[in-house]
Amino acid sequence: MILDDLLKSAPIEIMEARILAAHRLQWSRVQLITQSKQALSTTQVEDIQRLFERRLHGEPIAYLIGQREFYGLSFEVTPAVLIPRPETELLVELALERMTSNARVLDMGTGSGAIAVALAHARPESKIFASDVSQQALAVAQRNSDRHQTAVTFFQSDWHQQVNGRFDQIVSNPPYIRAGDSHLSQGDLRFEPVNALTDHQTGLTAIEIIVQGAPAHLESGGWLLLEHGYDQASAVRELFHPSTWSDVQSWRDLAGIERVTGAKLQLKN
């Protein structure tokens, strides 16, 4: 079978079919066009059709090809980590705006390491640390750091439990989907690690733990920035007690949704 006929017969969207075919053949987009009339081997055809079937049953493209772009960088992704999403780039931008020279920054619940590596890549003079409770996730994150030659320090921790020292900034994209939310059984989320998506409670449990423990690990005047759900901004702002935090605010993503909320630890007298 020639490539062109295989793509035309694909049971999925043509653009997705092209991505999967290019991945299996290790061809560029240009090659897909210039060699579209090339006959493929039986093994190549069967492998590509198998990818089509997996996609047809909902498996995310990112897992099928093993990577996803985030903040201009290519990241390895596996079913052990969440797939980085464009809206999380807002968290990176806000963190970069607040990073001073040689800042110490902690990314909690790092997953693939996308946030931490993006920060370290943009500010190589800073000291970036990243934690996760999952050893599998940390292995993926370390490979992503190595891929982009960044000096991120990874360590295992269940939120604040193994965190030592203080940081100029703490950032996190924690599990924030409430238990029983219908989105957990839809689309890509069906294939992503459930413990990275939901706290199995209200959706605010992990966020509350982070907010409560952050003062012990932030320098005076340091920022805490948290990504959260589309309808959680008001509830998250209420977690920042005015006796401890100042400049409490939320920021909107490109879709106009309040996606990140943060505050600054009160300056000590």
CATH number, position 224 = 3.40.50.150
Domain assignment of residue 62, yes or no: no
pTM assigned to the model: 0.93
∠ CA 162-211-247, rounded to 5°: 135
Q: Are residues 115 and 206 in the same domain?
A: yes
Whether the pLDDT of residue 267 is over 80: the answer is: no
8-state DSSP, 191: G
Which residues are bridge partners to 153 per DSSP? Answer: 129
Domain assignment of residue 72, yes or no: no
Q: Are residues 13 and 135 in the same domain?
A: no
Q: Are residues 176 and 245 in the same domain?
A: yes
DSSP alpha helix (H) spans, 123-178: 135-147
Q: Are residues 45 and 85 in the same domain?
A: no
Q: Are residues 128 and 169 in the same domain?
A: yes
Domain assignment of residue 143, yes or no: yes
Distances in Å between the Cα of 255 and the Cα atoms of 59, 174, 203, 239 are 25, 20, 21, 24
CA torsion sign, 35 to 38 to 43 to 46?
positive
Q: Are residues 84 and 34 in the same domain?
A: no
Count of structural domains within the chain: 2
Indicate the helix (H) or strand (E) that contains 232. none
CA nearest 172: which of 191, 202, 142, 199?
Answer: 199
For the segment 102-160, what is each residue's pLDDT rounded down to a tens digit?
Answer: 999 999 999 999 999 999 999 999 999 999 999 999 999 999 999 999 999 999 999 99
∠ CA 118-120-125, rounded to 5°: 150
Q: Are residues 199 and 117 in the same domain?
A: yes
Q: Are residues 84 and 52 in the same domain?
A: no
Q: Are residues 103 and 17 in the same domain?
A: no
| pLDDT for residue 119 | 98
Q: Are residues 132 and 260 in the same domain?
A: yes
Which structural domain range is residue 176 located in? 80-265
For the segment 239-266, what is each residue's pLDDT rounded down to a tens digit?
Answer: 999 999 999 999 999 999 999 999 999 9
Q: In which band, very low, low, confident or very high, does the pLDDT at 183 lie, cut at 50, 70 and 90? A: confident
Q: Are residues 203 and 245 in the same domain?
A: yes
